[in-house]
Amino acid sequence: MMLIDRATVLVTGATGGLGREFVRQTLERGAHKVYAGTRRDHDWHDPRVVPVRLDVTDAQQIAATAETAADTGLLINNAGVKGAPSLLASPFEEIRATFEANVFGPLALTRALAPALAAAGGGAVVDVHSVLSWLAQPGAYSGSKAALWGLTNSLRLELAGQGTQVLGAHLGYTDTPMTTHVDAPKSDPAVIVGRILDALEAGADEALADDVTVAVRAGLAGATTGRLG
């Protein structure tokens, strides 16, 4: 079970709607320091926040971050992209870039920070998924989030030996810059992040951060039970 109080945290995609909340709320819960990984400069106006230039698709920046943030005890893989809108019509390079940002970036950063987490007594990893991990949509986004879900479950097994908690966080539409084009009800990022961090500190493996996600997850479980019965 991960306790945020006095922990050192690394948040990727820290200037996004969810990222800023992860920075703010981990500090509210007593984090000693938060490394804020961003692709552009940002003034946090808080000495406890350490800006880190981090594009999760850049191997050199990941290596530099692992060196700078070697005292990290909690890694929050929040960065991601909407990505290619069509698996058939979008340029293949755009599809590949979606998976690089949403799947291989979090994996690379987790691999790079795993020794730091072990040194911190095990620590924790939070991977931000989506309800679209379980609901297919056209394009590369839902496929990449489904891949990240599977990756998270496998990493949980591999990191168990060093005592690292791995939490998969699922959420539906949330009011962030990534969803400005969406005409649908959206959750408050502060509420979503609060529920994710509550699940983390409760020792959970999975956070279902809104009612839509709870309903979809329950539907999957029911469908599986029906097939097996």
Give the helix, strand, coil percentages of the chain, each rounded to 5.
50, 15, 35
Q: Is 35 a catalytic residue?
A: no
Rounded distance between C-alpha atoms, residue 81 and residue 83, angstroms: 5
List the structure tokens of 92. Answer: 């293949």
Q: Can you tell me the distance from the alpha carbon of 144 to that of 204, in angstroms, rounded to the nearest whole number?
A: 23
Q: How far apart are CA 121 and CA 164, in angstroms?
A: 8
Give, in order, the Cα–Cα distances in Å from 103 to each of 57, 64, 108, 217. 10, 20, 9, 21
SS3 56: coil
CB 192 within 8 A of CB 174: yes
Q: Which of 22, 44, 99, 141 is catalytic?
A: 141
As a whole number of angstroms, the distance between CA 173 and CA 37 comes to 23
Put residue 138 in one of left, alpha, beta given phi > 0 → left and psi -120 to 50 → alpha.
Answer: beta
Strand partners, 75: 10, 125
Round to whole Å and give the CA distance between 71 and 174: 31
| Residue positions annotated with a catalytic role | 141
